[in-house]
Chain A
Amino acid sequence: EPEVTQTPSHQVTQMGQEVILRCVPISNHLYFYWYRQILGQKVEFLVSFYNNEISEKSEIFDDQFSVERPDGSNFTLKIRSTKLEDSAMYFCASTLVLPYNEQFFGPGTRLTVL
């Protein structure tokens, strides 16, 4: 069964460093998303991406964040200068066609900022 994959599973970084979180959505999916979940809290929408551009972004997704689909398979989230409060689990998700169909989530990348 096709699945969304994410690498790395755990990323530890120093405050102020840049990190890139990588996702490989399901191959025929067209809509891509990033979410984050701070430990013990709810899942928060960051950004949606379609047709090589951002469709929607939340207030959390400020200038520190950027997304890219550098090739036909990867979907990346970059955090330019990490802060302690960026520590969270970051989930990537994708959907087939419409933006609100079933979202398939990846296993997540746990980001720890020291």
Chain B
Amino acid sequence: GQQVMQIPQYQHVQEGEDFTTYCNSSTTLSNIQWYKQRPGGHPVFLIQLVKSGEVKKQKRLTFQFGEAKKNSSLHITATQTTDVGTYFCEGGSTLGRLYFGRGTQLTVWP
């Protein structure tokens, strides 16, 4: 069945370093959403990408949706300790189902 694979599972960076997490789907997605989940918290919506090749920015965060709408990435420039958490992608299939990636757990050392 359809899956959304997300790598890496864990990432430890020094404050100020960049961070990237990648999501890949086995099939074409209708859209992709990105969420951040703090330890003990619930997923909080960050952004939605719909168009092929779309790039969106939110301050230090850059989100990309691949041309084939099968992959996506989230890049954080110059990480801060407040960026700590798990970042999930969620792909929407053409049939309307939703698939979460496994998440990338980001740790930022001061």
Q: Which residues of A contact B (CB under 8 A)?
A: 33, 35, 41-45, 48, 55-56, 58-59, 91, 99-108
Contacts and interface: CB of A to CB of B under 8 A. Distances in A.
Interface string B42-75: 1111001010000000000000000000000000
Given A42-B102, A42-B103, A104 B97 contact: no
Contacts, number: 56
B30 A43 contact: no
Interface in B9-47: 30-31, 33, 35, 37, 41-45
B96 A43 contact: no
Given A42-B102, A43-B103, A102-B48, 8 more contacts: A42-B100, A43-B88, A43-B100, A56-B97, A91-B43, A99-B96, A103-B45, A107-B41
A60 to B, nearest CB: 11
A44 B102 CA distance: 9
Interface of B: 1, 6, 30-31, 33, 35, 37, 41-45, 48, 50, 88, 90, 92, 95-103
B44 A44 contact: no
Contact of B98 (A48, A104, A105): A48
A48 B48 contact: no
A100 B31 contact: yes
Contacts of B31: 100
11 contacts: A33-B98, A43-B37, A45-B100, A55-B96, A56-B95, A99-B96, A100-B30, A103-B33, A105-B42, A106-B42, A107-B42
Given A45-B97, A45-B100, A59-B1, A102 B88 contact: no
B103 to A, nearest CB: 5
Nearest to B93: A56
A59 B48 CA distance: 25
Given A100-B33, A105-B44, A107-B42, A42 B96 contact: no
